[in-house]
Amino acid sequence: MHGQQNPNIRSNDNLNLYTSIKIVIIDDSLSKMAYSNTMNKHRRNILKVCGSLILGMMTSCLRNIAPKGDGNMLQNKKLKMVLAPTEQHWVGDGFHVHTLIQPTPDLYPSISPFLLMDYAPPKEFGATTKKQGVGEHPHRGFETVTFALNGEIEHRDSAGGGGIIGAGGVQWMTAASGLVHEEFHSKEFAKTGGTFEMVQLWVNLPASKKMTNPRYQGIKNDQFPRVTLGESSIAQIVAGTCNETTGPCKTHTDINAYIIDSQKKDKINLNFKDGTNTLILVLRGKVVNEEKSHLEKSLLIFERGGTSINLDLEENSKILVLNGEPIDEPVAAYGPFVMNTREELMEAVKDYQSGKMGHL
């Protein structure tokens, strides 16, 4: 899924790719950049490939790594930027999202290995017999991670993966060499209706892993370990390690992912490896860092340098914490494909059209 996609993609003469990202080429050997993102909101859902690709080039240097701190002492990761939510738009008919990050050349060095984040804030859906969501569409070269915060999501893919997750559950799908999948509200949730909230994250894969076999992980809420941070905040560990406790989701590169709830005012400290990227999404309440307050839907992005982040959480606050080892390799992205070169993108389009990624 992606925040600007056509829900009715099929492998035919006209491949409909659903994004305002045309061709993104981030090459770490170049420093100049040219980026075109001219799709307006009335055209954002469709880009057509009719024998040739519409190209929009962008290049950037990915070696802009912050200096490493003294390994003998904790050094705070400084807040680099705060991103406000974009205008909401529909993904299919089931996900009303803000797209918070995309891999532009200016931003990618600060968010890698993460590529894209869509956040669907709480929304009430009425009871229906209709399938609401996104139909069959392809992916190659990366992973999609869906955090179900309220409601239920049902997934099915051409590699045999699939399942239903409810509130607190996570689906971690490794597209890798390629597959097609679909995502809908579960039948039971559609039948009763209710509050729906989710985050979907795209996670890049290094070149050595892009053509490995697909993998699906569906983890339910009660399968995640939890640890206490500060006085009373509870961290649900999705992936990586927190306070010597490891989450169940398997990753191809070093990634930490936590959902932290604080029912009372609290002070917490997060520690990560120096030289890594860290993103914090405020889902509920208010977060204070470096004496500055950040409200719901704010995305905090930190410098690579440093190992420690201090946060003050207001009463009834909830945050999503993401930390990862950057993948400083060239990135070529076109719609649902994320590779390293333009030629690999062309091959991905051809393989999808020829049916090599399968069908549902």
Contact partners, residue 93, CB within 8 Å, separation at least 6: 7, 130, 132, 133
Strands (E), 126-204: 133-139, 142-150, 153-157, 162-165, 170-174, 179-185, 194-204
Given this model, what pLDDT does residue 5 score? 42
Tokens 């912050």 label which residue? Answer: 66
List average pLDDT for each run of 10 residues in the chain, which is 360 residues long.
43 40 50 28 30 32 38 78 95 96 94 98 97 96 98 97 97 98 97 98 98 98 98 98 97 98 97 98 97 97 97 98 97 95 96 95
Given this model, what pLDDT does residue 20 score? 40
Q: Identify any residues that bridge with 269 across adjacent strands, giving them in sequence order.
A: 310
Contact partners, residue 353, CB within 8 Å, separation at least 6: 11, 12, 15
Given this model, what pLDDT does residue 49 score? 32
Cβ-contact 299, 82 below 8 angstroms? yes
pTM of the prediction?
Answer: 0.84
Given this model, what pLDDT does residue 56 score? 34
How far is the CA of 26 from the CAs of 52, 178, 210, 239, 336, in angstroms?
A: 21, 21, 16, 27, 16
Question: What is the DSSP-derived secondary structure letter of residue 353?
Answer: H
The residue type of 343 is E
Cβ-contact 161, 215 below 8 angstroms? yes
Given this model, what pLDDT does residue 218 score? 97
Following CA atoms 43, 59, 144, 321 in sequence, which dihedral angle do they give, to the nearest 10 degrees? -110
Pairing assessment for the beta strands 299-302 and 79-83 based on DSSP bridges: antiparallel
Given this model, what pLDDT does residue 74 score? 64
Given this model, what pLDDT does residue 26 score? 63
How far is the CA of 271 from the CAs of 14, 221, 259, 280, in angstroms?
A: 48, 24, 15, 13
Given this model, what pLDDT does residue 48 score? 31
Residues 277 and 108: their CA atoms lie apart, in Å, by 10
Contact partners, residue 298, CB within 8 Å, separation at least 6: 82, 83, 84, 85, 281, 282, 287
Closest CA to 154 of 139, 144, 166, 143: 166
Residue 315: alpha-carbon gap to chain centroid: 27
Tokens (6 digits) for 14: 């006209």
Structural domains of the chain in order of their starting residue, each with its CATH number: 15-353 (2.60.120.10)
Tokens (6 digits) for 205: 């894969």
Per-residue DSSP letters for 251-304? -SS-EEEEEEEESS-EEEEEE--TT-EEEEEEEESEEEETTEEEETT-EEEE-S
| Exposed / middle / buried, residue 27 (Cβ in 10 Å: 0-12, 13-18, 19+) | buried
